[in-house]
Amino acid sequence: MVDTSAIYALLDKSDANHNDAVKLLKTIAMEKKDAILTNFIVAETHALIFVEKMASDLFILPDTINMI
């Protein structure tokens, strides 16, 4: 299960845990594991993004995900 802080760190390059979150996502993808997200985690992440940062600073286009 992936929590809100991991998702937020993945999206925010200035977060202290960003590099760890990127490594975790790559490991999950390479090992073909499932990343479980509940509706509550998605909603909490959404709220955090719009409270803490301007939305335009955090949007990642689908084509750029492989570059992370």
What is the average pLDDT value for the chain, to the nearest integer? 83
pTM: 0.67
Q: What is the mean pLDDT of residues 43-50?
A: 88
d(C-alpha 51, C-alpha 26), whole Å: 27
Locate the domains of the chain by residue range. Answer: 4-67
Q: Residue 51 has what pLDDT?
A: 77
pLDDT bin (cut points 50, 70, 90) of residue 57 is low
Would you state the pLDDT for residue 61? 58
Residues comprising the chain, all counted: 68
Res 29 pLDDT > 80: yes
